Amino acid sequence: MCGNSEMGWDEFIRGIAECENRLNRSGQRGGDKLFLPNSWRALALDRTRKHFHNHRKFSFLELLEMFYYTRSSKPRDKLFALLNMGYDTGIGREAFNPDYDSTEQIILARYAKQFVEDGLVLDLLYRAGTDKGSDFCSWIPDLMNQQRKTQYPPTISTWEAAGPGSQRGFRAAQFLPQARLRGDITIGDHVTPVLGIVGIVLDSIQSCHPLEIGSRDTGIQFSNTLRDLRRYISHLDFYPNAGKNWKEELLIKCLIGDAIRPQNNAHGPLSSQSQQTRPLEWPEGFEQEVLAVKPNQNAHEYAAKSPGSLAVIDQFWQTAANFTSRIPNATVCITEKGYMGIVPGSAVPGDKIFVAHGAKVPFVLKKNTDMAFYRLVGECYMHGLMYHDDHKAGKFKQEEVRIV
């Protein structure tokens, strides 16, 4: 409604679609689809409404992603408002009953514990960590959005990676997840639940280096990013389980997370480029086009490239920006065994690279001060450790790590 005018919901959604179609009829730079600002919020409501009318529901975590931007006077009320809209948190599940007496920390811990019992521990870990998790427990996501972010921090576990063989996406580990709750401990002023999860500690971070994804308009800063990466790996004489062109492979695949195709910046939690408008794969020889961009190249030299070359470089930049934005304050690291990857900015030398059973991606763990527990820093991309067959986990010792 606006003043004395009103329209039905379906007409409103069709209006958004038509406006966006008109925005895109004049052509798009680099294949980008243009959107109305914040239209994804209306689309989230529309998608939920259609599910409801078709007698379907989303999971509770999916609902939290879609409506992460919303606020309530008390953060817990936001959770309560979504409970009966989720298929896994509805009537009859005692752990999710609205509780107006307990603190928000207790409520959040109760929800997280139930998700662990339901076998959703990895769904929590993908969304948690030092920069994405709650303030009292690193393995529990900030489900109430007390950090007041406009959008749910995306996870790299859903990234469209090339995958091994005919499979698509990351698959860092085999087996089923093995996790259990190990009681509560007191850390400072907080009572923190302890999570025990089985996996393999594959490596330790040896060094961390800044990562700057440069200017899309000129390509100049981006070329400097490639220059910096070359410097970071210049002291490496070989790469584990890699071919002779491993340096070029590192420069390309680390920045885009081994993306199977160009992927532009996601527009909200629901909308991305449609399958019809996205290239099915990278063009042959795109690596050479990207690596040919020289450091400190002036704008005139860059603009003199062919339109095809500029389009490929632009798509690569967009994909790199999209991927690295999924890792908070993305930072380059080199491990003790000579791997290179992209880790959260809060990672430091000495942190461990851990792969939990069943996990799609590795995680960075930080030893707690008393050395009895770890804190979850977050998920990461480690080139050569993203697919189980690459690192042959059978050579490593399985262990349970305890995370607070």
List of residues 6+ apart from 237 with CB closer than 8 A: none
Q: How many whole angstroms separate alpha carbon 277 and alpha carbon 271?
A: 13
Average pLDDT, the chain: 88
**301 pLDDT more than 70:** no
pLDDT digits (tens, 9 = 90+) for 235-282: 999 999 888 899 999 999 999 999 999 997 554 554 444 444 555 789
Please, which pLDDT band fits residue 365 given cuts at 50, 70 and 90? Answer: very high
**Nearest Cα to 313, choosing from 341, 329, 293?**
293
pLDDT of residue 26: 66
End-to-end CA distance of the chain: 48
**398 pLDDT more than 60:** yes
Most confident range (mean pLDDT) of 137-146, 150-159, 343-352 is 343-352
The mean pLDDT of 79-94, rounded to a whole number, is 88
pLDDT of residue 266: 52
H-helix segments, 165-266 = 220-232, 246-256
Specify the higher pLDDT residue, 352 or 216: 352
**164 pLDDT more than 60:** yes
pLDDT digits (tens, 9 = 90+) for 49-59: 999 899 999 99
The pTM for the full model equals 0.89
